[in-house]
Amino acid sequence: MTMQAHFQLTFAPMWPNVREIRQRVGSALDNCPAQLRSAAVMTSSELVENAVKYGEPVPGAKTVTFVLEATSALLCIRVINGSTNALGVAELGRRVQEVRRAEDKQALYMARLEELLARAEESGKLGIYRIGFEGGFDLDLDYTNDVVTVTATRKTNA
């Protein structure tokens, strides 16, 4: 499979931008297998939703930046946004590490679903697990000077 796609968008953290990202990613990956395209759209959506929901303008990231890079070997999705909520980012970091270390991502995902069912007052925070299990992506997180960078990578033949 020959695949090349690259684009970068910078936008205000507003909900309508999630739909635009989904459409742009789907169009950019039009030539790749439907399962890979679907995983990329879902992953992009989850990461941008997190940036909209939890992000805030900071000097190093006044807006949200979305980057998609796809080659015949690797698909990389990166979302950059600001956050002064160090505790929230630390929790995100714990979840990212949990997904990275999990040998059985499906079991991790199911355990998180069971947690959410058991504690009705708690909601959300399932997206990172979806990205690892449903999307098949590896995750990385960097938090420097109030700028959060979440990178999801996946081999395109995986």
Q: In this structure, are residues 140 and 153 in contact, taking their beta carbons and an 8 Å threshold? A: yes
Q: In this structure, are residues 21 and 121 in contact, taking their beta carbons and an 8 Å threshold? A: no
Question: Per residue in 83-136, pLDDT tens?
Answer: 999 999 999 999 999 999 999 999 999 998 888 888 877 667 789 999 999 999
Q: What is the pLDDT of residue 125?
A: 79
Q: Which residues contact 14 (CB under 8 A, 6 or more apart)?
A: 52
Question: Per residue in 61-85, pLDDT tens?
Answer: 999 999 999 998 999 999 999 999 9
Q: Name the nearest CA neighbour of 44 among 31, 25, 63.
A: 25
| CATH of span 5-155 | 3.30.565.10
Report domain extents, the chain.
5-155
E runs forming strands in 63-108: 64-70, 74-82
Give the span between the Cα atoms of 87 and 2, in whole angstroms. Answer: 42
Q: What is the pLDDT of residue 68?
A: 97
Helix (H, G, I), strand (E, B) or coil at 67: strand
Structure tokens at 35: 């399962």
User: Residue 139: which H helix or E strand, with range?
Assistant: strand 138-144
Which residue's structure tokens are 């033949």?
157
Q: In this structure, are residues 52 and 117 in contact, taking their beta carbons and an 8 Å threshold? A: no
Question: Per residue in 27-58, pLDDT tens?
Answer: 999 988 999 999 999 999 999 999 999 999 99
Cα angle value 149/152/155 (rounded, 5°): 150
Average pLDDT rounded to a whole number, residues 137-157: 96
Q: In this structure, are residues 12 and 63 in contact, taking their beta carbons and an 8 Å threshold? A: yes
Q: What is the pLDDT of residue 158?
A: 54
